[in-house]
Structure 1
Amino acid sequence: MSDDSGAVLDYHQRTKHQLNGYAKGPASLDWDDQPSPFRRFDGCETVALPQPGAELDCRYADLDRPETIPAQPLTLTNVGLLLELSFGLSAWKQFGPDRWALRCNPSSGNLHPTEAYLLCTDPGLLAAGVYHYVSHDHHLERRCRFDAADLPAGLYVGLSSIHWREAWKYGERAFRYCQHDIGHALAALSYAAAGLGWRVELLSEAGDAEIGAWLGLDRAADFVADERETPDLFCRIDTGASAEGEFSGPALSQALQSGEWFGSAKRLSGRHFYRWPIIDQVTEHTLKPLTPVERLTLPALELAPPSRNPAASRLIRQRRSAQHFNGKSAPLPLADFYRILTALLASAKPPFTAWNWPAQVHIVLFVHRVDGIEPGLYFLPRSAEAADRIRPACATDYVWQRVEAPFELYRLQAGNVRQAAKTLSCHQPIASDSAFSLGMLAGFADNVAAEAWRYRRLFWECGLLGQILYLEAEAAGVRGTGIGCFFDDAVHGVLGLQDQTWQSLYHFTIGEPLEDNRLQTLPAYAHLTQSASPAPENG
């Protein structure tokens, strides 16, 4: 095992929540200095995007068969819609004098560490350059212009993370949550692209150094030191139009060498009272190098129609994180439950069309109230032979009874597991008052030992699955919530797992939400047509 892999395993163990204590975080929150959720650059030309709020021509169920959705033309209007439905605002919430924005891509604590960049080499769309997307203003900031005459016309999206935004609240564990959010964002981009008849091709062979140079993230002088962005993913947007040539990372790097860069990042916080050097260390240990090109051939998978089938853009915009559930609601219909679980299995539909690796994450289910399913603990393998591999590592008293379902599903133990779900998820009632909750169990130690950067990839996969669960819950007429706070080793103890071969990396819960009528909901972009925009509150 490499030194990097060993350090990553140590970081993961160090940042576990335990029943007798939580991972290291701030002793108190400096609410007056909460990082701004909106990154902006000074000294950049801005490029207006057409007014947000347009609708896609397809319904949510159409995304199950993306090949049937006609490709829309590559226009600035459609690019704006792509960015809005991936990273833009979905609403504002207000309680008394406090106002905060919600977005189409979810985020741990609504802190939004993920930033999105557009890189364009298509002169028919935009002048060749690197552009930063500002979700609050729904416009682009031109960070770089360069000569793309020798490059094929194309459109690319890059994603990065500002670890400080999460660390302000979550301390050392924040690095994990930033990786979740990258997975959420990639899935959100994939769904939005599919609604336009486009496809996201994840250029996962690119290394962090290359992505950082392409997006200008390696320009240290342009950023406040404690608020630097780290590169994560780089994607090509396939709009269905014939390309002039294949993407070449070296050619893009060569073209950018003579590029002219503009602007510097505005400060997000006035001070940084707490410091978490372990995050910088694990960032270094998980740097991704250039890797071989990997693409998956995905099977077709028939999904039953969702019980609700609004316009895809409407469902994407209505996605919310439930804060409370009705613990006495009617059971979730079996058809909805099976549809949600089927959607987690890799197939030739978004967001898996933007994912390049075999499934490494499997699902442990705490079933509370699902029609036709006995309450208890269940296991959903997401790849062939996963059940056979994990079964010997689990507690010997589990029955592993195959459930009659449209996919492979096992009952481990029947009975009321509500209290267990609540306790394991940091005593949060959202894990027990729902119809069901779950933990995402990853093949862990072997992946990290093989390549330390896969640590991030495992969390990306969890976030990808989380975005599926969010949208599928909405399509079932219920609501979901990601749970980053859980007692890691207590979860493993319940399952009988003894080492780091398997690790639970993310929890999720789905049920009937209880709405807080004290909160006022305001339109996402009304401020763009008003003389004074609402102050971008933190949170």
Structure 2
Amino acid sequence: MSDPKQQIVIDYHDRTKHRMDGYAKGPDTLDWDAQPDPFRRFDGAEQIDLPLLADRLVIPFSALSSDQPVAAQSVDVSCVATLLEISVALSAWKQYGTARWSLRVNPSSGNLHPTETYLIAIAVEGLSDGLYHYRADAHALELRCRFSEAALSELELSQPQLYIGFSSVHWREAWKYGERAFRYCQHDVGHAMAAISYGAATLGWNISPQLMWGDDGLATLLGLDRQRDFGNAEREHPDLLLKILPGGQSCDGVGPASLLTLAQSGQWFGKANVLDPKHLYHWPVIDEVTEASQRPENAASPAVAAVDTSIIIPTECSETAGKLLRRRRSAQSFDGVTVMSRQHFSRCLDQLQPRTQYAPWNTVNWHPRIHLVLFIHRVEGIAPGLYALPRSEHGQALMRDNMRPEFQWQPVAGIPDSIPLQQLILAKAERTIAKLSCQQAIAAESCFSLAMLAEFEPTLQNAPWRYRELFWEAGAVGQTLYLEAEAAGLRGTGIGCYFDDPVHQLLGLTDNTLQSVYHFTVGGPLVDHRITTLPPYSGKG
């Protein structure tokens, strides 16, 4: 292999696999009272409180997958506040005894939330032109950089410009998960991307991922390379920039060079808070894979997937999108008896098809690289067993060429032809998938569990930064499963702990062509009524 960075990434992935005889390296002990602060702030920056307006939304969740466009809302501070409230804000506080913790609309591995959200606003009514950091704990924006009028005068703009940027504080995940944490940070970016996409769709807005940005440029744009503003605080790694496209707005707007000029000539404010004053461990391998998977400036964007015009299976959910997005939760356990209806199951799989004109696939609009293997336990009219859901013809060819030759690859009766679900083998697999999922019963007591297989080594060829994109796409798949489970009256949860190579051995995978990068499970939840649920922003109007 000629690319040393690609080899570092592959070595990291292999090193951080969980194995039957030992887990990936992590901390020997955890002090939950010393957990890193889940909320970043920039002390000294002007804070703009945002209103809570999501309860006013009347758009039904069903409209997000309809062929009738949602009426586009105007781009102003109220709609920005709504977008953030239904995508990356707090969704509740939980309390059990003296313990109290927050939940967010976007999920996170271990509820640790390494993902930070930034906003760039130009000519947005109610906001000064500049870069903002979003404080989820206060539902507020912090003005990090005010753009100069001189630099703004050089732009010729006919409409507002709005961007969402993401970064990751790797230590938040590494504190608990050690070396494997880099994977989970990338999952969380994918969940956040998809959450923003669903939120934007509720407002009639589209999304365009700005993949021409390299990590160094994005760090400058978001102020992440400003040593004086971080001091001893944990650094953030740049991930991705999304452009918000209201209504029929084109992708054209402020180019990267002009955005960088605005940031470099602007006035900066605020100092980052320290999240954890005492780091008991250091994981150099995370720094190594972060460096090796750096995205260069103007890297070639992946080919955009063709628009899928297949007929969408409608949802039976009548709830408003705003309410459903905010009540998403991660299941802690399942009842082991709930049977998922075939209609709900078909709808769920249908929404995993990469229709790039709909949320969330407008954020991961490249040819699909994530394909699914399902362990079906309790779905109406479908026999328990192992099934495959390739998300492209190329993916199906890879799966058939690399998985066990004895697999049957038969279509499933009662599933619409537009959904390429294939029966591999009939068998009760609850004990098997529980064992493979680090002995977690939640994978067995559900309606179905699944493994996400990535087109791995072929994707990394001469582009090691695409390692992160594989996990982003997997996160988007997970976010879709979360919401479709909620819409069906069920619940989902992501599973990051599984025994990597034993999963591959079960499927007959013998090399790095396909690798499992994320697991997920959906079922009937058991609710712990000892835990009290409190509103996310008590006293805030």
TM range (shorter): over 0.9
Aligned to 1:257: 264
| Distance in structure 2 (CA, Å) of the matches to 1:87 and 1:322 | 19
- Provide the rounded CA distance (Å) in 1 between the counterparts of 2:436 and 2:476: 22
In the superposition, relative to structure 1, how do residues 296 and 224 fare at CA in structure 2: closer, same or farther (>3 Å)? farther
Please identify, of 67-76 and 409-418, the stretch whose mean Cα deviation from structure 2 is larger: 67-76
Match of 2:370 in 1: 361
> C-alpha offsets along residues 446-487 of structure 1, whole Å, 9 cap, x if unaligned?
112230001000000000000000000001110000000000
Could you give the per-residue CA deviations for residues 480-536 of structure 1, whole angstroms, max 9, x where no partner exists?
A: 00000000000000001111111000000000000001111111111436xxxxxxx
2:354 aligns with 346
SS in 2 for 1:174: helix
> Does the C-alpha gap of structure 1 residues 369 and 217 become closer, same or farther in structure 2, counting only changes over 3 Å?
same
368 and 224 in structure 1: CA distance in 2 versus 1, 3 angstrom threshold = farther
Moved more, 284-293 or 433-442: 284-293
Whether the 8 Å contact between 2:304 and 2:367 is mirrored in structure 1 is no
2:337 is aligned with 1:333 = no
Corresponding residue SS for 1:472: helix
C-alpha distance in 1 between matches for 2:63 and 2:125 = 29
Aligned position for 1:200: 207
CA contact (8 A) 1:473 1:480 kept: yes
- Which of 230, 234, 244 is the equivalent residue of 1:237? 244
State whether residues 402 and 411 of structure 1, in contact with CA within 8 Å, keep that contact through their aligned partners in structure 2: yes
Contact 1:66 1:197 in 2 (8 A): no
1:298-313 equivalences under 5 Å are: 298-313=307-322
Cα separation, 2, equivalents of 1:55 and 1:317: 13
Q: State the alpha-carbon separation in 2 of the partners of residues 438 and 309 from structure 1.
A: 27
Deviations 1:7-37 (A, max 9, x none): 0000000000001110000000122321111
| Pairwise CA distance, 1:69 | 0.7
Matched letter for residue 112 of structure 2: L
In the TM superposition, residue 304 of structure 1 has moved relative to its aligned partner by: 2.2
In structure 2, the partner of 1:493 is 505
SS of 2:520's partner is strand
- Asked if 1 retains the 8 angstrom alpha-carbon contact of 2:389 and 2:420, the reply is yes
Distance verdict in 2 for CA 1:464–1:177, change over 3 Å: same
Question: Which residue is equivalent to 1:466?
Answer: 478
Q: Which runs of 5+ in 1 are unaligned?
A: 530-539
Distance 1:241 1:390 in 2: 38
CA distance in structure 2 between the aligned counterparts of 1:125 and 1:59, rounded to whole angstroms: 27
Please state if 1:457 is matched with 2:436. no
For 1:483 and 1:243, locate their aligned partners in 2 and report how far apart those are by CA, in whole Å: 37
Greater displacement, 496-505 / 520-529: 520-529
Q: Are 2:230 and 2:271, in contact at CA under 8 Å, matched by a contact in 1?
A: yes
2:326 to 304, 310, 317: 317
**Residue matched to 1:537:** none
Q: 1:526 to 1:98 in 2, by over 3 A?
A: same
Find the aligned partners of 2:508 and 2:372 in 1 and give their Cα distance. Answer: 15
Counterpart of 2:166? 159
Q: Any conservation in 1 of the 2:305–2:368 contact (CA below 8 Å)?
A: no
Q: Tell me, in whole angstroms, the C-alpha distance in 1 between the residues paired with 2:252 and 2:180.
A: 42
Q: Which amino acid aligns with 2:169?
A: I
- TM-score (ref. length: structure 1): 0.95
Q: Give me the CA root mean square deviation.
A: 1.6
Aligned residue among 394, 398, 415 for 2:427? 415
| Match in the other structure for 1:532 | none
Q: Is the 8 A contact 2:75 2:124 kept in 1?
A: no
Report if the CA contact (8 A) 1:375-1:414 is conserved: yes
Do the aligned partners of residues 497 and 258 (structure 1) sit closer, same or farther apart at CA in structure 2, a change above 3 Å counting?
A: same
Q: C-alpha displacement at 1:297, in angstroms?
A: 4.1
Name 1:43's counterpart in structure 2. 44
Query: Would the aligned equivalents of 1:119 and 1:156 in 2 still touch at CA under 8 Å?
Result: yes
Are positions 1:172 and 2:182 aligned together? no
How much does 1:402 deviate?
2.1
Aligned mates of 1:261, 1:340 — CA distance in 2: 45
**Paired letter, 2:497:** C
Bigger shift: residues 82-91 or 176-185: 82-91
Aligned to 2:8, the other structure's residue is in SS state helix
Q: Aligned partners of 1:393 and 1:171: how far apart in 2?
A: 31
Q: Which one is further off, 250-259 or 195-204?
A: 250-259
Structure 1 pair 335/242, CA: closer, same or farther in 2 (3 Å)?
A: closer
Deviation digits for residues 422-448 of structure 1, max 9, x if unmatched? 011100000000000000001101112
Q: Which residue of 1 aligns with 2:456?
A: 444
Gaps of 5+ in 2: none
Moved more, 285-294 or 184-193: 285-294
The alpha carbon displacement at 1:245 in A equals 5.5
| Aligned-partner SS, 2:452 | strand
Q: Which moved more, 1:119-128 or 1:235-244?
A: 235-244
Residue aligning to 1:515: 527
Question: Per-residue deviation at 1:256?
Answer: 2.1
C-alpha distance in 1 between matches for 2:249 and 2:110 = 41
Cα deviations across residues 180-212 of structure 1 (Å, max 9, x unaligned)? 000000000000000001111111121111111
Residue-by-residue CA offset, 1:147-166 (whole Å, 9 max, x unaligned) = 22223341111000000000
- For the structure 1 residues 214 and 115, does the alpha-carbon distance in structure 2 shift closer, same or farther, using more than 3 Å as the test? same
Q: Secondary structure at the match of 1:456?
A: helix
Q: Tell me, yes or no, if the aligned pair for 2:124 and 2:161 is still in contact at 8 Å.
A: no
Q: Please tell me whether the aligned partners of residues 26 and 170 of structure 1 are also in contact (alpha carbons under 8 angstroms).
A: yes
Find the counterpart in structure 1 of residue 280 from structure 2.
273
| Range with bigger deviation, 251-260 or 472-481 | 251-260
